[in-house]
Amino acid sequence: MRLTWLADVLRAAGVDVVEVAGWKTRGSDTYGPIRGVIYHGTADKANSGPADARDDAGAIAVIRDGRPGLSGPIAAAYVNREGVWHIIAAGRCNTVKTGWAGPLKGVGNTNVLGVEAENDDRGEPWPPEQLASLRLGFAAILRQLGLPAAKLAGHKEHQPGEKVDPNGIDMDQFRREVAAALAGQPKQATGKPAVQEDDVSALMRYDKDPTGAVFVTDGKTAKWVKNQQELLDRQTLHGDGTLPLGFGGQVRVVGNRALIGTIIGDVPPWWKDGVEGSPKPTA
């Protein structure tokens, strides 16, 4: 059995996907049925700079090829801090021991799908865009497998006493958020009420550089807007009260043109000037 549908299912969920060469034939085909999904943290060095200064290739190589004492592949996918899913293997991976606790107690490599998410696992905050992408991706995978959110386990739950990853994640709360995504009712990681289904929310991160990329999600799809022009070239409001975005999506606005959702970080001048009444960042 090989999960050759992974890339297509994740793209359909709206997350960014990179296919690592050879992934469809990587990993053992002595695999399945899949009974659950494991959420790992990479224990990578903490993020200290922009994405282009970080070594995604190094992390992918370890997951693909293994490390001393553990042969590869180690996981089916790797999700970097920007929320990009890198698909590494469609077959069985050496991702866990047979678990002695948690939602997948008694289950081992033959029956789980492992996902490695970039984090130092020593207290580094998880970026909102990465968490949003993980929720969407996990929900899409579980839906394809016909499994509930209850079958998503943290590595630390599966092997308590040995593992701490994903460090800083309340897995009960995270499963509730994934369950909400499965039900089509997006919920913000802050614990604020879910946005109504007929509304479109926007969660954005701005780099300090005013021309930095913007991450937009409505809880079901997620996109990076690469530059300000992509966002602002179609800023005229439609009659139905939505603001179309340059990549083809849209955000819903209300009377004062405040976006429904949360803005994380500093609002750059081009956004503030480009959309009248844009809201201030919220804590």
Model confidence over 37-58: pLDDT tens digits?
Answer: 999 999 987 765 544 445 789 9
Looking at per-residue confidence, does 239 or 118 come out higher? 118
* pLDDT tens-digit series, residues 186-245: 433 333 333 232 233 333 333 333 333 444 444 434 444 444 444 444 333 334 434 444
The structure tokens listed for 209 are 């550089």
Residue with tokens 């984090």: 119
* pLDDT tens-digit series, residues 137-166: 999 999 999 999 999 999 999 999 999 999
Give the CA count within 13 Å in the CB-facing half-sphere of 241: 12
d(CA 282, CA 180): 23
Closest CA to 119 of 90, 156, 79: 79
Domains of the chain, by residue range, sit at 6-182, 202-274
C-beta atoms surrounding 9 within 10 Å: 17
* pLDDT tens-digit series, residues 16-26: 999 999 999 99
pLDDT of residue 45: 78
pLDDT above 60: residue 269: no
> Region 102-107: what's the mean pLDDT?
97
pLDDT of residue 44: 84
Secondary structure letter of residue 149 according to DSSP: G
CATH topology of domain 6-182: Lysozyme-like (3.40.80)
* pLDDT tens-digit series, residues 242-268: 444 433 344 433 222 223 233 333 333
Q: What is the mean pLDDT of the chain?
A: 73
Residue with tokens 């929720």: 135
pLDDT of residue 173: 94
Is residue 15 within 8 A of residue 222, CB to CB? The reply is yes
pLDDT above 80: residue 128: yes
Alpha helices in 51-127 (DSSP H): 56-65
Looking at per-residue confidence, does 102 or 262 come out higher? 102
